[in-house]
Amino acid sequence: MAKAADVVVQCLENEGVEYVFGIPGEENLDLLESLRKSKIKLVLTRHEQSAGFMAATYGRLTGKTGVSLSTLGPGATNLVTASAYAYLGGMPMMMITGQKPIKKSKQGRFQIIDVCGMMDPITKYTHQFASADNIPARMREAFRLAEEEKPGAVHLELPEDIAAEQTDALPIPPSLHRRPLAEHVAIEAAVQKLQNARNPILVIGAGANRKMTAKVLKQLIDKTGIPFITTQMGKGVVDERHPRFLGNAALSSGDFVHRAIEAADLIVNIGHDVIEKPPFFMVRGGTEVIHINFRSAEVDAVYFPQVEVIGDIANAVWQIGEALSDTSHWDFTRLMAIREANEAQIAEGADDNRFPVYPQRLVADIRRVLPSEGIVALDNGIYKIWFARNYKAHKPNTVLLDNALATMGAGLPSAMAAHLVHPDRPVISVCGDGGFMMNSQELETAVRLGMHITVVILRDDGYGMIRWKQANMGFTDFGLDYGNPDFVKYAEAYGANGHRVESADGLLPLLEHCIKTPGVHVIDCPVDYSENDRILNSELRERALAV
């Protein structure tokens, strides 16, 4: 016989869990004691939301379920945003929350809310343990669902009295499982469409950011010369330095990539996920689409693909590549001309010396300083568009960009999780001053754990993304300004290293110093967004139309 809390931890160990991120409460003390005796590392954070972001990012980077922990009531409600982040973003993440005793409660409704009911709309699975004997089966099922396509968040509630129960139940070993392969008739239909096309194009989305997909996609592109674009969450699936990379769909419309899609006569949409704004809309009688994904297409008025190849994406792409014969009639002259125009535009501003720093220069310098395997973890703000457009990702999951929930506050915790998964890689978190301050307390966690990360705070003393949209809509500038602490002193108060950018030329050497010098580094970088509207809304549209 064993205590139920011990069985929960045995199940976690059985699933290969390395870390549990979170903040315990009174209702978790049995579980906390079980964790103390385990090889699993507890990462104690300063806010449950950060713990959830870290668990989700761990899941994104490893494909294994990241685990977060909170107590009941306010601890559980603090996990809600992180749950939505993982649920929409396709990141396997488990939340274990505490609860008052369910068999004999002596405290009325104190701190009690229906946590399972709250979590239900933003998880793949939620369950309250009512018996210690059921723990192994429910744990195994939760891990299965968290990691099964599309990955996402799951939630388990462990009441205090159940955690203390005795049981002889044992963990259930994970089963051997393989994703189903695409059916050969669908493969043949896709191949026939491609053989009949003259200038097809690949659109690589969030669902393609999985193991093995990068390798077979590159093989297909190298074999046929077919050009490709990426969505924001498809960045890095194929090295974006590739001569057939046409650009990233950072904007909803009016960019060079949209011109490229218009010029194609067949779109191969790989890993399409409706959480991202689509880079194209289908119309009746317009360009046909081949949908390749783990799941069938969610059809709506602007997306109704003619061929669906459903199954393991990597295998489907490999089968199509093997079956394609002569493609010498393909002509990508027009698409390559669009690519050259886009490349020329991206190069502009990379050495801009104006100060405060212009976003083009910022993106270029961070790309210069990071090696191919280096990781940039973005919070949410207008700089995300600049990174999506201008930062060329060399490898999968080296740009941790959230274009699903697109929440502020995730940049620093994501960078911390990236460091835990890849301690040998340089990690830079890029945050706006607004997003950084939402979870800035985690600097203490990073310092306490001896992490080596660099946090670049883009300071414009206001909610810049909303200001940009406000101006676009013709509204008066209102309600978006705030004050900031002295970020250098703020970092030093936590035991981190504080730095301030004093000139555009000073950014690159400062970045080089930070990624070479162990420790937590915080860089206060004033940024100038004054030309965002002109460049992103007017100039790009005009130049794209001119190609």
How confident is the model over 143-189, as pLDDT tens digits?
A: 999 999 999 999 999 999 999 999 999 999 998 888 888 999 999 99
**Peptide bond before 24: cis, by omega within 30 degrees of 0?**
no
pLDDT of residue 271: 95
Rounded to an integer, what distance in angstroms lies between the CA atom of residue 387 and that of residue 164? Answer: 49
pLDDT of residue 493: 98
User: Average of pLDDT values for 266-278?
Assistant: 92
Q: In 3-state terms, what secondary structure has residue 394?
A: coil
User: Average of pLDDT values for 397-407?
Assistant: 94
User: Average of pLDDT values for 493-513?
Assistant: 98
If pLDDT is split at 50, 70 and 90, which confidence band does 112 have?
confident
Instruction: Tell whether the model's pLDDT for residue 106 goes beyond 70.
Output: no
Measuring CA to CA, which residue among 218, 200, 530, 191 is closest to residue 359? 530
For residues 536 and 53, which has the higher predicted lDDT (pLDDT)? 53
Instruction: Tell whether the model's pLDDT for residue 99 goes beyond 70.
Output: yes
Instruction: Tell whether the model's pLDDT for residue 452 goes beyond 80.
Output: yes
**What is the four-CA torsion angle of 297, 298, 303, 305, rounded to 10 degrees?**
20
User: Residues 176-191: pLDDT tens digits?
Assistant: 888 888 999 999 999 9
CA atoms within a 13 Å half-sphere pointing along the CA-CB vector of 336: 9
